[in-house]
Amino acid sequence: MTTSHRLSLNALRAFEATARLRSFSAAAEELSVTHGAVSRHVRMLEDSLGLALLQRTAQGATPTGEGQRLAEGLSKAFGLIQSSVEQLKPGPLTLACSESIMMYWLIPRLGRFKEDNPEVELRFNMSHGPIDFAHDNVSVAIRLSSIEPPKDAVRADVAHEWIGPVCSPEYLRQQRIESFEDLARARLMVSRTRPTAWADWARCSTQANQDLRVDQSFEHFYLLIQGARCGLGMANVPRMLVRDDLMSGTLVAPMGFVRGPNRLSIWTAPHLSRRADVVKLVDWLHDELRATEP
């Protein structure tokens, strides 16, 4: 009997998850088993192969050279299995985007997509960082171009992101903000997901030599925007998130917007890129983003 016939599929899955996540605990959580079960499976695999596949540390686990090669092959194999199943049994699509894009940009437009494509079932993954299509079960993602996509992603940089300061009309009247220099007396606010927003805007506005002091930060853009609505200060935000507020007069943009350092990108899982419902979703997102942020 060859070595491959003696290998346990559970052991291979436990090792692949541990190597990818660099943690026995994280692998156990992903696989819905105990930490001890993952550790035993990995040890059994190492004994079967006669190789040390992981270096165990107090901080977690790091693959050895042999372990890294095996982990990469297993990740591709498990991804192929999942994609084969999805092609046979296509289920709902999962669209990943940030909470703020979901609230302020996607949901107000989603009705039109559903009306034109009632057969497309959508689920949502609220996130804004790196993703793994297979393990996160994501079909399509909206991301900034500054974020590195998966190596096999079908990527399209669709539109520029425009950024600028906004505040309530009352706050603008109180502080008399009319020029860049007037910002020195304003209360400047940012989102912790974009701590360099004011510096990015200053650089793109050719005001890079100006020192802007941030007074308050919020956990998310939607909290930051609410703070600006309530007159707490000036928020530097992407234009796409505040279009409705600007049109209604809830917020004003006294200095307009400039083209920021990022582009808005659409990532598509490679094994789904030719599915009819995926093509419809990606084409619609492309058109809507281009119309919003030309």
Chain segment 61-78, per-residue pLDDT in tens: 999 999 999 999 998 888
Mean pLDDT score, 76-82? 82
Its pTM stands at: 0.71
Q: Identify the pLDDT of residue 2.
A: 46
Task: Provide the CATH number for the domain around residue 145.
Answer: 3.40.190.290
Whether 232 shows a pLDDT value over 50: the answer reads: yes
**CA–CA dist 271, 87 (Å, integer):** 8
Which of 54, 88, 122 is where one domain is finished?
88
Task: Provide the CATH number for the domain around residue 41.
Answer: 1.10.10.10
Q: Identify the pLDDT of residue 181.
A: 87
- What average pLDDT does the chain have? 91
* Total number of domains constituting the chain: 2
Q: Identify the pLDDT of residue 169.
A: 98
Q: Identify the pLDDT of residue 58.
A: 83
Q: Identify the pLDDT of residue 201.
A: 94
Contacts of 113 (CB under 8 A, 6+ apart): 120, 281, 284
133/78 same-domain check? no
Q: Identify the pLDDT of residue 1.
A: 39
Whether 246 shows a pLDDT value over 50: the answer reads: yes
Contacts of 278 (CB under 8 A, 6+ apart): 93, 139, 140, 268, 269, 272
For the segment 161-217, what is each residue's pLDDT rounded down to a tens digit?
999 999 999 999 999 988 888 998 999 999 999 999 999 999 999 875 667 899 999
Which of 43, 72, 88 is where one domain is finished?
88
Q: Name the token pair of 14.
A: 């436990």
Mean pLDDT score, 97-117? 95
Which of 88, 104, 136 is where one domain is finished?
88
DSSP-assigned beta bridge partners for residue 252 = 167
Alpha-carbon distance values, 290 to 110, 157, 163, 277 (Å) = 16, 10, 16, 20
Q: Identify the pLDDT of residue 234.
A: 97
**CA–CA dist 213, 238 (Å, integer):** 19
17/125 same-domain check? no
99/237 same-domain check? yes
75/146 same-domain check? no
78/96 same-domain check? no
Q: Name the token pair of 291.
A: 């119309």
State what percent of residues in the chain have pLDDT above 90: 76
210/127 same-domain check? yes
Domain of 102 in residue numbering reads as: 90-294
CA 90 to chain CA mean position, Å: 23
For Cα atoms 113, 118, 121, give the angle at the middle one, nearest 5 degrees.
Answer: 90
